[in-house]
Every structure is written in C-alpha cells, then in structure tokens.
Amino acid sequence: MFGGGLGGRQGPGLLRTVARTAVISATATATSRAVEGRMQSRAEAQQRQQAAEAAGWEAQAELERMKAQMAALQAQQVQAAAAPAPAAPAGGGTGLIAQLQQLAQLKEAGALSDAEFAAAKAKLLGT
C-alpha cells in the first residue's frame, strides 16, 4: 500500500510511543504532584482525592480481610501444632501464596509499612 523512500523509518513509532507513555507519565505526574504538593487544578485535586479515598477504603477493607484470614490461619497453625502429625493442609499452598501476594500488594499500595509487611509475612509463613 505504501510507496516511496522509507529507509531508516522503521522505529517504534512516535504516535504509538506517545500512547504507551501517556499512561505512565500521567501517573508519574500525578504522583509527583501529589507528593511534592505542587499546583493542581481544583477538579484534578478533587478527582485525585476521590480516587485516593476509594483506594484507601479498598486497602482498608483488604487489610480487614487479611487480618481475618491471618487469624484463621493462625488458628489452623495452632490446631496443626497440636495435632500429632502436622502435615501441610491440602490446598493450603495456594491459599498461602495468594495471601503472600495480597500482602505484597498491600505493601505496594502503601497500606502496610515495610515492618508491618515483614511481620505479617513472618506470621503467614509461621517463621
């Protein structure tokens, strides 16, 4: 479909690169602005606050779920320790990995500090 001299124009594409980095740079900008308390339009600030609140609530809810799960797991561990032959519970591995992943997500979301994450992880692993 295309003719003409196209030597050396085999790059990734300006428009495609713009589209790809728009997501990343928009986030970076929003993040750096929020962190550095830079100028924001009122609408933007509101939007961001709503998003942050939503994320906060989600993280909070997630944290509550995690706490409940950890309590359940601890109860299991107590039972397992009391049992004469503490075999790993069937299917427990998947649950544990999922919980570890959730923990990592919480840490990434900032809902858990490094220390909290380490403590929760140690509890999960029973170490």
Nearer to another protein, 6 or 90 (CB): 6
How big is the CA angle at 104 (ends 100 and 110), to the nearest 5 degrees? 145
Nearer to another protein, 13 or 86 (CB): 13
43 contacts another protein (rule: CB under 8 A): no
Classify residue 28 by burial, with Cβ atoms within 10 Å: 0-12, 13-18, 19+: exposed
Number of residues that bind another protein (CB under 8 A): 18
Say which residue the tokens 């962190």 belong to: 35
20 contacts another protein (rule: CB under 8 A): no
Q: Which residues bind another protein (CB under 8 A)?
A: 1-16, 38-39
